[in-house]
Structure 1
Amino acid sequence: MVQNPARRTALADAAIEVLAREGARGLTFRAVDVQAGVPKGTASNYFSNRDHLLDQTARYIHERLTPDPVMIAELLRAPRDRDLVKALVRDIFRRISEDRAGYVALLELRLEATRRPELRARLTEAVRDELDANVAYHLGQGLPGDRETVVVLYLAMTGLILEQLTLPEVLGTDGLTALIDAIVERIVPAA
């Protein structure tokens, strides 16, 4: 396989855009080549088959949605209380809202995983590992709550994000920060 990291990243970004716009069925090597503006056949030089493309795209989405360490370090200067959890959750929502295509592509991959057992296994492992890492991070940072707190917060925010990215008119945009704060208030115990 070709090892040009910049080209691989451009192809992964293109795959995310194709997934978000056309769904998993529209994700072809040719569609990725066109989206990336590269010669026909380029994507097939980087990904051995469609399953490899799906798998690598899923991994890259998680990288793309990873928070900026400088911003997180700045947030973590605050006391380890419910207000800090609110700030961290607002940051998650902001990042996902700013990378709508990335999260919609992840939703498309989740749907495709219902039809592809191998993808389901890899995606399940990746999402479980990320949730476990979030729990470990939350507890390791001394934030209020326990494992169940983080899991319930994850589920509530997943629902809010799904609603906002797919049917934004249901909740509108006014009051989303207050709604996120209310979710945290109801789930995360006081310090």
Structure 2
Amino acid sequence: MTRNPDRRATLIDAAIEVLAREGARGLTYRAVDTEAGVPAGTTSNYFANRDDLLTQVAPRVTERLTPDPDALAGTMKAPRTRALEAELLRGTMDRISQDRSGYLALLELRLEATRRPGVRTELTKTMSATLADNIRFHLDAGLPGDETTVVLLYLAMTGLVIEQLTLPEALAPFTADGLIEALVARALPDD
């Protein structure tokens, strides 16, 4: 297999765009080659099979959605209150909204994981690690709430993100910001 890390990342990013636009059934080597603007056959030189390509998507989406460390450090200078938690959740929503394709590809990958055991195993590892990192960050930062609070916020935000990316009109007249504020107010203990 060819080992150019930049080319590999380009192909994975192209796969993310194809997944978001065409769904898992549209994810072919040819579609990825076309999206990436590379010669036909390039993707097959980097990924042994579709499952290999699919399992690379979730870690890349996670990487793309990770906050900028400098921006996060600035945000974390604030007191550890509900307001800070709401700001962090709004930041998550903003990053997801800016990388809509990434999250939609992740949703497609979740569906594909129900049909492909290998994809399910790898996606479970990635998502479990991400949740564990979120819990650790929350607790280490001294934010209000406990481990269960983080899981509940994660689950609620997952639902909100799905609605915002797929059927935002269904939430009208509610806004994402307003719902995040209400979620934090109800899920976290008083400051």
Superposition TM-score, scaled by structure 2 size: 0.96
Structure 1 Cα separation of the partners of residues 132 and 6 of structure 2: 30
Structure 2 Cα separation of the partners of residues 46 and 187 of structure 1: 45
1:22 is aligned to: 22
2:69 is aligned to: 69
The CA deviation string for residues 89-147 of structure 1, in whole angstroms up to 9 with x for no partner, is 00000000110000000000000000011111111121111111111110000000001
2:31 is aligned to: 31
Structure 1 Cα separation of the partners of residues 9 and 168 of structure 2: 29
Q: Does the alignment pair 1:81 with 2:81?
A: yes
Query: Which stretches in structure 2 are left out of the alignment for 5+ residues?
Result: none
Structure 2 Cα separation of the partners of residues 73 and 12 of structure 1: 29
Deviation at 1:172, TM superposition (A): 4.4
Q: Does the alignment pair 1:111 with 2:101?
A: no
2:151 is aligned to: 151
Question: What is the RMSD of the two structures over their aligned residues, measured on CA atoms?
Answer: 1.2
Query: Which stretches in structure 1 are left out of the alignment for 5+ residues?
Result: none
Deviation at 1:71, TM superposition (A): 1.1
Deviation at 1:174, TM superposition (A): 6.4
Residues 160 and 176 in structure 2, CA contact (< 8 A), matched pair in contact too: no
2:160 is aligned to: 160
Structure 2 Cα separation of the partners of residues 124 and 154 of structure 1: 15
Residues 85 and 184 in structure 2, CA contact (< 8 A), matched pair in contact too: yes
1:55 is aligned to: 55
3-state DSSP of counterpart to 1:185: helix
The CA deviation string for residues 136-178 of structure 1, in whole angstroms up to 9 with x for no partner, is 1100000000011001000110000011111111124863212
3-state DSSP of counterpart to 2:162: helix
1:99 is aligned to: 99
The percent identity for this pair of structures is 60
| Counterpart amino acid of residue 39 in structure 1 | P
Structure 1 Cα separation of the partners of residues 15 and 90 of structure 2: 27
Residues 17 and 102 in structure 2, CA contact (< 8 A), matched pair in contact too: yes
The CA deviation string for residues 18-73 of structure 1, in whole angstroms up to 9 with x for no partner, is 00011111111100000011100001111111111001122211111111111111
Deviation at 1:189, TM superposition (A): 1.3
| Counterpart amino acid of residue 52 in structure 1 | D
Return 164-173 or 121-130, whichever deviates more. Answer: 164-173
Residues 164 and 176 in structure 2, CA contact (< 8 A), matched pair in contact too: no
The 1:101/1:79 distance shift into structure 2, 3 A limit, reads same
Deviation at 1:179, TM superposition (A): 1.5
